[in-house]
Chains A and B, each alone.
Chain A
Amino acid sequence: AQSVTQLDSQVPVFEEAPVELRCNYSSSVSVYLFWYVQYPNQGLQLLLKYLSGSTLVKGINGFEAEFNKSQTSFHLRKPSVHISDTAEYFCAVSYTNAGKSTFGDGTTLTVKP
């Protein structure tokens, strides 16, 4: 069985500071990894994904994530956050069985002025 652990439920940061949202996964098979963002009262939308190849992936809005197979991690980073980045972020693992995804519990990022 696959599982996803987001290590921080809430991350408060000041505007223009760097941020890292941590995600660890467990799986007995190769995985595909995703980060989604959910703004208030909206559905989730894709930030970035890792399928294969380079372990550093870049996404929208200046976010990037690094896949680390030995540590089974897929942490999300941004060097300088904006107020508009305030949202909930979900790490997800998907697998080949009908494309089903397992989500972490989410991390609420709050950017303060």
Chain B
Amino acid sequence: NAGVTQTPKFRVLKTGQSMTLLCAQDMNHEYMYWYRQDPGMGLRLIHYSVGEGTTAKGEVPDGYNVSRLKKQNFLLGLESAAPSQTSVYFCASSRSGTGTGELFFGEGSRLTVL
């Protein structure tokens, strides 16, 4: 009964380093999303995907790249980490692109950039 799984859960990076966050869902959902959560700012959409092989920019895409090579996986990459990217990152998936379906979230990945 895994749902949405994110790895790693915690990571500390130095400025300029790169890393990839992995999101995996076992619900056969078409739609997947990456959000970042910062104190007092709610969740902001970074990138999203409407199906295997597709990606699109969200509200705050700068400094991030994504890939969806397999339907069940959605990867978020930071090519050159900056302190402003210190945040908690949440992956979510949905069966519906019409806006009527709920989002299923992972438990989050806490990233600190020094």
Contacts and interface: CB of A to CB of B under 8 A. Distances in A.
B56 interface: yes
A96 B99 contact: yes
Interface in B3-60: 4, 31, 33, 35, 40-45, 48, 50, 56, 58
Contacts of A105: 40-42
Contacts, number: 70
Interface of B is mostly: loop
B97 A98 contact: yes
A96 B98 contact: yes
Q: Which of A36, A43, A95 has the most CB of B within 10 A?
A: A43
A6 to B, nearest CB: 8
Given A43-B106, A100-B45, A100-B48, A32 B100 contact: yes
B4 A43 contact: yes
A104 B37 CA distance: 11
Interface string B74-104: 0000000000000000101010111111110
Interface of B: 4, 31, 33, 35, 40-45, 48, 50, 56, 58, 90, 92, 94, 96-103, 105-108
Closest 3 CB pairs of A and B: A43-B105, A94-B99, A103-B42
